[in-house]
Amino acid sequence: MPQITVTVDGITHEVEVEPRLLLVHLLRDRLGKTGTPIGCDTSNCGACTVLMDGKSVKSCSVLAVQADQSDILTIEGLSTDGTWHPLQKAFHEEHALQCGYCTPGMIMASLDLLRENPAPDDDAIRKGLEGNLCRCTGYCNIVRAVRRAAAEMSGREVSAT
Amino acid sequence: MIPAPFDYVRPGSLDEAVTALADAGEDAKVLAGGQSLLPLLRLRLAYPSTLVDIGRVPELKGVRDEGDHVFIGAMTTHDEVLHSDLVRAECPLVALATATVADPAVRHRGTFGGALAHADPAGDLPAVAVALDMRMVARSRDGEREIPAAGFFVDYLETALGPGEILAGVRVPKLGPGWGFHYEKFHRTAQAWAIVGVAAAVRRSNGTIEEARIGLTNMATRPLRAAAVEQAVRGLAVTDTAALRGAAAHAAENTDPPSDLHGGPDYRRHLAQVLTHRALMAAAAA
């Protein structure tokens, strides 16, 4: 079996994997990173989104062997020393989740969006999150949360709207 | 859902890759970004014996200016294509269509060459390839050959690539000044495949259309050129909405659109006409 080296949330793992093992299964079943859920399993919903070398990917559509020598960031690696990331705080404060199943993917995709565009307008936020589905219909609050986090991350005042 | 077992090889060069593919036999499959292939494997719609992962072949990456054309390496991701100044300047239609492919996460992994070699008639880039007369560069152990886009797409998920061939890259001709471009896509949700798509390139001079190239997405089992529209549109004023609508009414000629849960052939034929009109208007004004 191929041996791969992956760094997940700052910790480097050397693991033997079957070639057909999906990255999301490596994360959840082998490394215990169950913060990343499996949603649709057909690369539509984006619930399993993680960052791979800084860019968002759907971890159900990447083989673990393809992630060899890469740096993975999951929702579990987002807070630092128990302090929530501005996106996590904003999703909480804006009530941007109901059942919460899509939230890890929404937050990771938002992080990628803000890397590309630190001050997105609502349209850019909606476009940036087009690969992530929320079935509780919470998009309005999700967009608000991303806007709030963007403001906090760039030190701007949060607008009231 | 878990794919059926397969052997896995990850060559480090193009020579190694074509050798690995030839050695692995006819049930082997090339793995590019995997954004179409992995869902197929998970649904157990494909059972390759071996995956040849070309994700770490450096020769297959990047965009280069080669004089009268731009070379786009097959393993250049959609995201890299979108961020290429060269593509945006010299192949705007490629950038416009690529921006509509799936969603950002898929565009980070999915590749330009993979999307073409997968040859899904609902994919956005094949129609652009035929509209622009791209030249596909195929590599095998026997060397390199060029396949014109018009002969590359054979049927549903089928290309002219032989069993031992890998799509190494694509030569995208530069069209020069005077051209306007647009990709018009109709889909049910933001990230979904096109129900119908229209890639339009229009050359204008003094307010008149001199030449047009129209590619149709998902109007047959392979991408098509709307030749009748291209003829009808010549000489029309770029602002003549009614005349352009009349030309676009030819868009469904010689098509064979599929039927699925999104709509039947009649619906798609109607869509092709409406979307071609929109694409022409936008490209003529671009």
User: d(Cα A120, Cα A123) in Å, to the nearest integer?
Assistant: 8
Beta bridge partners of residue B8, listed in sequence order: B51
The last residue of a domain, from among A46, A77, A108: A77
Tell me if A161 is assigned to some domain.
Answer: no
Task: Tell me if B105 and A56 make a contact (CB, 8 A cut-off).
Answer: yes
Q: Does residue A14 sit in the same domain as residue A44?
A: yes
If one counts the domains in chain A, the total is: 2
**Phi and psi based region of residue B185 (left: phi greater than 0; alpha: psi -120 to 50; beta: remaining):** beta
Q: Does residue B152 sit in the same domain as residue B227?
A: no
**Structural domain containing residue B46:** 7-53
Chain A to chain B Cβ contacts (< 8 Å)? 84
Task: Tell me if A19 and B106 make a contact (CB, 8 A cut-off).
Answer: no
Test mutation, B103, B107, B118, B191, chain A, max A CBs within 10 A: B103
The last residue of a domain, from among A54, A77, A100: A77
Tell me if B85 is assigned to some domain.
Answer: yes
Q: Does residue A69 sit in the same domain as residue A104?
A: no
What residues have CB less than 8 Å from B192, skipping those under 6 apart? Answer: none
User: d(Cα A64, Cα A17) in Å, to the nearest integer?
Assistant: 7
Residues of A with CB under 8 A from a CB of B: 2, 18-20, 22, 25, 41-44, 46, 49, 52, 55-58, 60-63, 65-66, 109, 112-113, 127-128, 130-132
Task: Tell me if A112 and B1 make a contact (CB, 8 A cut-off).
Answer: no
Of B8, B42, B191, nearest to A131 by CB-CB distance is: B191
Task: Tell me if B2 and A2 make a contact (CB, 8 A cut-off).
Answer: no
CB B220 within 8 A of CB B121: yes
Tell me if A95 is assigned to some domain.
Answer: yes
CATH number, domain with residue B43: 3.30.43.10
Question: What value of ipTM does the predicted structure carry?
Answer: 0.95
User: d(Cα B235, Cα B243) in Å, to the nearest integer?
Assistant: 10
Task: Tell me if A42 and B39 make a contact (CB, 8 A cut-off).
Answer: yes
Residue in the block written with tokens 């259309």 = B209
Q: Which residues of chain B are within 8 Å of residue A55 when distances are taken between CB atoms?
A: 79, 108
Residue B44 burial (CB count, 10 A): 11
Q: Does residue B136 sit in the same domain as residue B192?
A: no
Tell me if A100 is assigned to some domain.
Answer: yes
Q: Does residue A148 sit in the same domain as residue A101?
A: yes
CB B200 within 8 A of CB B283: yes
Tell me if B15 is assigned to some domain.
Answer: yes
Q: Which residues of chain A are within 8 Å of residue B8 when distances are taken between CB atoms?
A: 2, 19, 63, 65
User: d(Cα B53, Cα A151) in Å, to the nearest integer?
Assistant: 41
Beta bridge partners of residue A71, listed in sequence order: A7
Q: Does residue B16 sit in the same domain as residue B111?
A: no
CATH number, domain with residue A109: 1.10.150.120
- Nearest-Cα distance to chain B for A45, in Å, is 10
Beta bridge partners of residue B31, listed in sequence order: B53
CATH number, domain with residue A22: 3.10.20.30
Amino acid A161: pLDDT? 47
Residues of B with CB under 8 A from a CB of A: 1-8, 10, 31, 34-35, 38-39, 41-43, 51, 53, 55, 79, 102-106, 108-109, 190-191
Task: Tell me if A61 and B41 make a contact (CB, 8 A cut-off).
Answer: no
Tell me if A160 is assigned to some domain.
Answer: no
Q: Does residue B70 sit in the same domain as residue B160?
A: yes
Test mutation, A38, A45, A58, A115, chain B, max B CBs within 10 A: A58
**Mean pLDDT, residues B3-32 taken together:** 97
Q: Does residue A56 sit in the same domain as residue A92?
A: no
Considering only alpha carbons, which residue of chain B is nearest residue A18?
B5
Task: Compute the residue count for chain A.
Answer: 161
Of A41, A44, A65, nearest to B8 by CB-CB distance is: A65
Amino acid A137: pLDDT? 79
- Nearest-Cα distance to chain B for A67, in Å, is 10
Q: Does residue A39 sit in the same domain as residue A103?
A: no
Per-residue pLDDT reduced to its tens digit, B208-241: 999 999 999 999 999 999 999 999 999 999 999 9
Side by side, the strands of the sheet bearing B7-9 are B7-9, B50-53, B29-31
Task: Tell me if A66 and B55 make a contact (CB, 8 A cut-off).
Answer: yes
Tell me if B58 is assigned to some domain.
Answer: no
Dihedral angle at the C-alpha atoms of A149, A150, A153, A155, nearest 10 degrees?
Answer: -110
Q: Which residues of chain B are within 8 Å of residue A20 when distances are taken between CB atoms?
A: 2-6, 41
pTM: 0.96
Amino acid A158: pLDDT? 59
Q: What are the per-10-residue average pLDDT scores of chain A (161 residues)?
A: 97 98 98 96 91 98 98 96 96 96 98 96 96 92 98 76 47
Res. B264 pLDDT band, cuts 50 70 90: very high
Check pLDDT > 50 for residue B270.
Answer: yes
Per-residue pLDDT reduced to its tens digit, B58-90: 999 999 999 999 999 999 999 999 999 999 999
User: d(Cα A78, Cα A76) in Å, to the nearest integer?
Assistant: 6
Tell me if B2 is assigned to some domain.
Answer: no
Q: Does residue A63 sit in the same domain as residue A104?
A: no
Per-residue pLDDT reduced to its tens digit, B147-183: 999 999 999 999 999 999 999 999 999 998 999 999 9
Test mutation, B80, B109, B188, chain A, max A CBs within 10 A: B109
CB A30 within 8 A of CB A15: yes
User: d(Cα B186, Cα B279) in Å, to the nearest integer?
Assistant: 11
Q: Does residue B264 sit in the same domain as residue B209?
A: yes
Test mutation, A56, A71, A74, A116, chain B, max B CBs within 10 A: A56
Q: Does residue A94 sit in the same domain as residue A52?
A: no
If one counts the domains in chain B, the total is: 3
- Nearest-Cα distance to chain A for B115, in Å, is 15
Task: Tell me if A22 and B42 make a contact (CB, 8 A cut-off).
Answer: yes
Q: Does residue B118 sit in the same domain as residue B194?
A: no
* Greatest extent of chain A over all pairs of C-alpha atoms, in Å: 55
User: d(Cα A23, Cα B190) in Å, to the nearest integer?
Assistant: 25
**Structural domain containing residue A8:** 3-77
